[in-house]
Every structure is written in C-alpha cells, then in structure tokens.
Amino acid sequence: MYRELFLQAQAVREYAYAPYSNFKVGAALLTKEGVMYTGVNIENSSYPVGLCAERAAFASAISQGEKEFQAIAICGDTEECWPCGMCRQFMYEFAPDLTVVTGSDPDHLEIMDLSELLPNGFKLEK
C-alpha cells in the first residue's frame, strides 16, 4: 500500500509549479476508506503565498468531504522529503495518527507516524 502511495506521489510531482526553487514535490494522501487524493507544491512570486504539496492534497480531499485519513506519501527531488513544520501542524489538525511515507524510490521508503514528527502537536479542543 505505501509503495503504491509513493508511486502516485512520484507521478504527480511533475505537475508541481516550482519556477523559483526548482524543487518539485508531489504528495498522495490516503483516506481511511481507501480513496487517494494528490497535491503538488505551488510557488508564487510572493513566497509566503505558496502552497506545499501536503496541504494541497489535504485541501483537495477536504473539498470533497473527506475527514478521516490514514497515510500520506511525499516525494521530492531529494532522497527524502519530510514535511515542513507548517505542514506537520496542518496535518495534525485532521489526522494526529497519520502515517508519513517518504524515500529515495519506491523500494527504499522511510515510514514514521506524524506524532513522531510533531510530538505534542497543538489542537484546540472543541
């Protein structure tokens, strides 16, 4: 399952819009029901306005009514592409138990729980 998720992230990476950094990232997000949503990083001339691939994938899924997630694979131009701090906190809001997958290729994956990447994540109680 994680290999297929990574392959999808790798496939969509080519659609990234990264004319400033030339660092393309693709993400594939898997819901608890087994539906996959993808996202890519989207840069902007005004750097803070850009969007990371992980948040793009979550936005796509949430826009379709999804609320429960089990795993995300992230594929960048380097051996591993772990989510930035902003993305870690963003994902924690929706899936504190999310599995995060990255690596150099589909046969050499690194897998960690989001809670390991963001210990003591912040979430307001409803």
pLDDT tens per residue, range 41-100: 999 999 889 999 999 999 999 999 999 999 999 999 878 999 999 999 999 999 999 999
Overall average pLDDT of the 2-31 stretch: 97
Amino acid in position 11 = A
Q: What is the mean pLDDT of the chain?
A: 96
Overall average pLDDT of the 29-41 stretch: 98
- Is residue 90 a contact partner of residue 119, using CB atoms and an 8 Å limit? no
What is the second-level CATH architecture of the domain 2-117?
Answer: 3-Layer(aba) Sandwich (3.40)
Examine the residue annotation and report whether 33 is marked as an active-site residue of this protein. no
Query: Could you give the CA distance from residue 107 to residue 10 in angstroms, rounded to a whole number?
Result: 13
Sequence-distant (6+) residues with CB within 8 A of 38 are 8, 9, 12, 26, 27, 28, 29, 57, 60
85-94 and 53-63 are packed helices; what angle lies between their axes, rounded to 10 degrees?
20
**Looking up tokens 């409803």, which residue turns up?**
126
Catalytic residue among 14, 43, 54, 110: 54
Give the residue extent of every domain in the chain: 2-117
The strand ranges marked E within 21-123 are 26-31, 36-40, 69-75, 99-105, 108-113
- pTM of the full structure: 0.94
Sequence-distant (6+) residues with CB within 8 A of 40 are 12, 13, 15, 16, 17, 24, 25, 26, 27, 53, 56
